[in-house]
Chains A and B, each alone.
Chain A
Amino acid sequence: MLSLTLPIPLLKTLTPPSPNINNPSLSPYSHYQPRSRSLTRGLIVPKHSSATAPPSATLRDDGTSLAGDSPEPLPEELVAELMPKHVAVIIDGHGRWAKLRGLPASAGHQAGVQPLRTVVRLCCSWGIQVLTVFVLSTENWFRPKVEVDSLMKLFETTINSSIACMKKEGIQIYVIGDSSKLPESLRSTIANAEKSTKHNSRLQLIVAMNYGGKYDVVQACKSVAKKVKDGLLHLDNINEKIIEKELETKCTEFPYPDLLIRAGGELRLSNFLLWQLAYTEFYFNKTPWPDFGKEEFVDALRSFQQRQRHYGGERHS
């Protein structure tokens, strides 16, 4: 790395131009040409004073909607051969979604379960082999305790209610991240779900819970260090390939996502899969996760299929 300083003083009088709302081509989302959406779906919604989600967000917690008996046909605009093998998703926007409706944040998280089931069902139907979902970051613990506690309960009930369906539909679940901070009951639920679904192979669902990209690299280095300590590895052999093998995504045959979808309007990675996302195609979507559905998922896949992929020089259409 080389740093150079230019002997040109920066003008302190410069102010950034105001965003040009009349020119949509300047939008960071314009790259994706999303379909026009009805405003009523996201905004014009009656306020609810109760702490429960509105009827439109009511969930089927029996888990029956996970994959469904009849597979979803592939939309005409998508090509089966160009489907990504591994899709990663950052689910976001629950809080804003709830606030717009006068609901607590927990209602937003609750309403986010059904979109996840929809995406899982579509992945199963369309031959996507790995789906990694970022549900809880190592930074999320700084949120209000009541919100974190309700999230933990939601994870537990959702996983518990989905085990039978995952077994039936051939979905294998695997949870990555630092589980030491999770409640004991949730850890037990995770262990049970992983054990019950470990022989399934239709779709691998990787749930990143209390996960951080930097945490992952550090734990991989610790794992390598332990192998050095135990005499299983020589110092001279340590390179990026060795570290790669110790990352938490070693649980899958396809550790590198082809496509990353971020819902909720933010344009950053938020410490998710930092090492693994080097050549991943990004798709940022403004739709808050509770409103994310088949249409948005198809848009993301179509955008992915229209791009040329680069791997540090090589070009792949």
Chain B
Amino acid sequence: MVQEVNEVVALHDPDHMTLEFLSHADGREAVAKAANLIFVENLKQHKLGGELDLQILLEPQLNEALQIVGSKGPEPDLLLVYGPVRSHLGFPAWRLRYTEIM
């Protein structure tokens, strides 16, 4: 039996293993969705002038938006690549800054 959990539970339950299933939608597509979400929210707040504040687009805001669109997870310590290639094959790059790749 497996139980679906949210990210908070997954990160704060050291006694259990968490399996995360990712797809291409969690990669570049998710970043585009997150950016879009920020734009839409910001435009809602500035309905009158339709002004877009460029300062709201910073790394923490993008992280938050990725969480809302369901694509924000922990940065892995290790990425194992199987097969004849040596590439991360579109794994969500936002989370691969300091991941060891083997």
Contact = CB atoms under 8 A, between A and B. Distances in A.
Contacts of B52: 225-226, 228-229
A186 B25 CA distance: 40
Given A10-B16, A277-B88, A278-B93, A228 B39 contact: yes
A218 interface: yes
A254 interface: no
A76 interface: no
Interface string B1-33: 111111101100111111111111011110110
A281 interface: yes
A9 B36 contact: no
A9 B16 contact: yes
A36 B86 CA distance: 22
Interface string B68-92: 0011010000000001111111100
A222 interface: yes
B85 A10 contact: no
A282 B101 contact: yes
Contacts of B39: 224-225, 228, 235, 238
Given A3-B4, A235-B43, A269-B97, A278 B90 contact: yes
B64 interface: no
Contact of A5 (B16, B26, B88): B16
Contacts of A310: 83, 85, 87, 89
Contact of A6 (B17, B84, B101): B17
A4 interface: yes
A1 interface: yes
B58 interface: yes
A302 interface: no
B87 A238 contact: no
Given A28-B102, A278-B93, A309-B85, A3 B32 contact: no
Interface string B35-60: 11011100100000001101001110
A3 B96 contact: no
Given A228-B52, A278-B93, A218 B101 contact: no
A3 B16 contact: no
Interface in A231-286: 235, 238-240, 242-244, 267-271, 274-275, 277-284
B32 A5 contact: no
Nearest to A309: B85
Contact of A274 (B3, B9, B94): B94
Nearest to A230: B52
A225 B10 contact: no
A214 B63 CA distance: 10
A149 B47 CA distance: 47
A272 to B, nearest CB: 9
A2 interface: yes
A235 B89 contact: no
Nearest to A29: B102
Contacts of A238: 32, 35-36, 39
Contact of A1 (B3, B9, B22, B93): B22
B15 A3 contact: no
Given A214-B94, A307-B85, A5 B5 contact: yes
B93 A5 contact: no
Contact of A4 (B5, B31, B87, B94): B5
Nearest to B17: A6
Interface in A1-49: 1-10, 28, 31
16 contacts: A3-B4, A4-B19, A5-B17, A6-B2, A9-B16, A213-B93, A217-B62, A221-B57, A238-B35, A240-B32, A267-B100, A271-B98, A278-B90, A280-B87, A282-B101, A310-B87
Q: Which 3 A-B pairs have the closest CB atoms?
A: A274-B93, A229-B52, A240-B28
Interface of A: 1-10, 28, 31, 213-215, 217-218, 221-222, 224-226, 228-229, 235, 238-240, 242-244, 267-271, 274-275, 277-284, 307-310, 312
